[in-house]
Structure 1
């Protein structure tokens, strides 16, 4: 991890956003730095007024070889956040909008499949004569439904076992 000054950090972040514009992921972390050797436990606000100001640490990685960070002093924080926010707004224009129509149709299809799986198939056609084929289709649908219900139960059991272990 490479520690750089604030301006270099912003310029490297801009270059990283440009390089991963078509494909890639960037992780940004932002946290408060505590003083060396001090506990990270937060004190009660009523117990003592802490007048110390803490620096902020910002880290960036793309999951590969690009890893760098910067420390921002409390006095420079507003200026830095203005530049950082403008950079993020300018760089996140390539994000895709969610396709809500496709999500809605998938949800509807899933609901139909679930309803079809839980609704019992009624065998009301005669065994012989007219309607025999209809009965055969109903029997086939019943068997298929039982099979899908069994697979669903097996998947649920596997998920329960995975969660408990």
Structure 2
């Protein structure tokens, strides 16, 4: 058995092991004569289980990336609060002030999220 003869023509069964990634583990031996049948059946099983998978929607992914980039650019820009405090243009100035305050709050939340992501990656 350990001599390694070139005339050794024994065919050995194939051991197949399967797990669901948690606690279920299965194994089986497949004889060389049944290997093609096993592969065909296994392939059919895999195709049937992949029916629920969806093809990636690359257009939507690209749109989301562009939207995220646009939001980041808007966060980076400064809002110039100009105009009179009284008289004509007062409401416009008030809207700009409110927008600047909201933008600053959004920046703070974004910064906190980035820090939280950094902490989870480091851990």
TM-score (norm: length of structure 2): 0.66
Counterpart selection for 2:16 from 57, 63, 72: 57
User: How far apart are residue 96 of structure 1 and its match?
Assistant: 3.3
Distance, in Å, in 2 between the alignment partners of 1:103 and 1:61 is 30
Return the structure number with greater relative CO, CA threshold 8 A, min gap 6.
Answer: 1
Distance, in Å, in 2 between the alignment partners of 1:54 and 1:135 is 81
Residues 14 and 30 of structure 2 are in contact (CA less than 8 Å); yes or no, is this contact kept in structure 1? yes
Unaligned runs of 5+ in 2: 1-7
Q: Aligned residues, how many?
A: 114
Per-residue deviation, residues 11-47 of structure 1 (Å, max 9, x unmatched): xxxxxxxxxxxxxxxxxxxxxxxxxxxxxxxxxxxxx
Cα distance 1:159–1:94, how it changes in 2: closer, same or farther (>3 A)? closer
* 1:79 is the counterpart of 2:37: yes
Per-residue deviation, residues 89-121 of structure 1 (Å, max 9, x unmatched): 244334334455554444343333222211111
Distance, in Å, in 2 between the alignment partners of 1:89 and 1:82 is 11
**Equivalence for 1:143:** 101
More helix by proportion, 1 or 2?
2
